Amino acid sequence: MTMTFGLLGAGRIGKVHARAVRGNPHARLGAVADALPAAAQALAAEHGCAVASIDAILADPGIDAIIICTPTDT
């Protein structure tokens, strides 16, 4: 079984977690959200996934789990 992850935050730690997901044969990155659209686009392009809003990721029945990589104050 493969789990599909949504990633909230495309900064430094988001990139680390995206690579970890990509390195697991039982996981895939389904969508990325970030307050900076260019950051989300770049990470999504690197990992072959979609860019989506946080609300869209939360509502997506195809997303099995969410990795929260937003700044501490958020």
Q: What amino acid occupies position 10? A: A
What is the band of 56 on the pLDDT scale with cuts at 50, 70, 90? very high
CA 10 – CA 50 distance, rounded (Å):
12
- Note the pLDDT of residue 31: 98
- Tens of pLDDT, residues 1-46: 999 999 999 999 999 999 999 999 999 999 999 999 999 999 999 9
Q: Decide if 46 contacts 17 (C-beta within 8 A).
A: no
CA 71 – CA 46 distance, rounded (Å):
21
Is the pLDDT assigned to residue 72 strictly greater than 90?
A: no
- Note the pLDDT of residue 74: 79
